[in-house]
Amino acid sequence: MSILFRDVEIDGARVDVRVVGEYIAEIGRGLSIDSAELIDGGAGALLPGLHDHHLHLLALAATRRSVDCGPPSVTDLGALARALRAHAGSGWVRGTGYHESVAGDLDRHVLDRLLPYRPVRVQHRSGALWILNSVGVDTVSRVLDATADVERDESGAPTGRLWRYDSRLRPALPADVPDLAQVGETLARYGITSVTDATPDLDDTAIGLLSSGHRSGALPQSITLLGADNTGTVGGGLSVGPRKLLLRDHDLPTFDQLAAAVAGAHSVGRAVAVHCVSRESLLLSMVVFDGVGSIEGDRIEHAGIVPEGVAEWISRLGLRVVTQPGFLSARGDDYLRDVASDDLPYLYPYASLLRAGVKVTPSSDAPHGPLDPWAVMRAATDRTARSGAVLGPDECVTPMTALAGYLGTPGDPGGPPRHLACGVRADLCLLGGPLRQALTRQDASWVRMVVIGGRIVVRDE
């Protein structure tokens, strides 16, 4: 297959671009059409396809079949009850996006009052907690272990609150094949041609689903996995990135436990990606890296709170940060109400990390954060909550800085943005106008055409 993009903007210059097969074959002025499919670029910017450095593909697919249980669509207990009861069928009701502002801390007893006769599981919007009703607890009782991840009352009975329990719950749930084609299409329409799946501890079933989805074309995006084990082999067109280490803030590992996990990955030449939302988890990780040492590619996921002076520490160790500015727009008003005043100035920093010399890139953490990369870029630029409040104005970055993060390579988050050149794989995003205009109004509606591996997957003309 051959495609000729006529009159597109690359790095500020208006040129033609020929794609042959999976790769860019020629860039110049006045290129001949030959037998190529002609695309009139209309002076629109032609970019490398965007890369989301942190999301969860299977959870995205599952969320699309779930009940929305959080703001702004659900804001009180009555609305939560109506949403759960409206779910069709007789089996499991799966809810997502719950936040305590709706009805406080949920447990099995609260959910029993809302929907007692069918199994219910509701996920907190952080993704860290599942809350089940009594029917649900009984249904999964065989996989409930004795760890602190299963919250229990004074009598030892489960409260229905399960922390970081996704993989352990799965064997007790009905087999379900997710609709990955819808996820792949949505990603493509945003201009995303590759992703890093940050789900921890992926088992063979999960990897098989993603591999099958990629091979079939349902997920045309290139996929890097952080949750594969240290064997380094996944097959099916997928690749392995740093090893995801999930720190549970309710049950943090000891120094020795985390040090062993980091050293174990490093011993086979694999970097680590450490989940650090809280101040405590970040400081523990930093002390471990100081003791064990860091290698190229080691990264901090989230860096939700970075206290004063720690940015320089991160820089000295050569660690990268994969952050989520989209949380500031989606949850900013909740942060202003709920986050300790001592932590608010250090919430999801960006500009200060860059000033300290840290490689930083934005990402979505979808479905827990907004998937739309243009909305995430906007949030990185203005850090504005729904109410109009600005969280940390000194942490705002330029639109070009935010876009450059999405143009980084999967293996070099926060590194130099990719550029289009002859011989480069044709993962492309054509905008409906010059880049300068698109950066002035960061919006997904600019995306006009998307090409993955030389194949047009989105065409809006």
Count: domains in the chain: 3
pLDDT, one tens digit per residue, over 403-435 is 999 999 999 999 999 999 999 999 999 999 999
Domain that holds residue 424: 1-49+420-461
Q: Is 227 a domain residue?
A: yes
| 394, amino acid identity | D
Q: Is 182 a domain residue?
A: no
CATH number at residue 442: 2.30.40.10
Q: Are residues 230 and 160 in the same domain?
A: no
Q: Are residues 402 and 257 in the same domain?
A: yes
Q: Are residues 366 and 284 in the same domain?
A: yes
Reading the block at residue 261, the tokens are 């996990």
Q: Are residues 271 and 140 in the same domain?
A: no
Q: Are residues 346 and 435 in the same domain?
A: no
Q: Is 435 a domain residue?
A: yes
Q: Are residues 310 and 393 in the same domain?
A: yes
Q: How confident is the model at residue 232 (pLDDT cuts 50, 70, 90)?
A: low
Supply the pLDDT for residue 236.
72
Q: Is 153 a domain residue?
A: yes
Q: Are residues 303 and 393 in the same domain?
A: yes
pTM over cut 0.75 = yes
Q: Is 179 a domain residue?
A: no
Contact 133, 119 (CB under 8 A): yes
CATH number at residue 242: 3.20.20.140
For residues 287 and 282, what is the distance between their CA atoms, to the nearest angstrom?
A: 9
Supply the pLDDT for residue 251.
86
Decide if pLDDT at 461 tops 70: no
Q: Are residues 108 and 147 in the same domain?
A: yes
Query: Of 417, 436, 453, at which residue does a domain stop?
Result: 417
Closest CA to 206 of 236, 164, 251: 236
Q: Are residues 100 and 39 in the same domain?
A: no
Supply the pLDDT for residue 178.
84
Residue 55, strand partner residues: 197
Q: Are residues 246 and 380 in the same domain?
A: yes
Q: Is 454 a domain residue?
A: yes
Decide if pLDDT at 196 tops 80: yes
Summarize the confidence of residues 112-129 as an average pLDDT. 93
CATH number at residue 89: 3.10.310.70
Q: Is 183 a domain residue?
A: no
Q: How far is CA 408 from CA 149, 221, 308, 373, 374, in A?
A: 36, 15, 27, 13, 15
Half-sphere exposure of 133 (CA within 13 A, CB side): 18
Average pLDDT along the chain = 95
CA 43 to chain centre: 31
Contact 391, 344 (CB under 8 A): yes
Q: Is 400 a domain residue?
A: yes
Contact 214, 185 (CB under 8 A): no
Q: Are residues 210 and 323 in the same domain?
A: yes
Q: Are residues 210 and 301 in the same domain?
A: yes
Q: How confident is the model at residue 89 (pLDDT cuts 50, 70, 90)?
A: confident
Supply the pLDDT for residue 154.
94
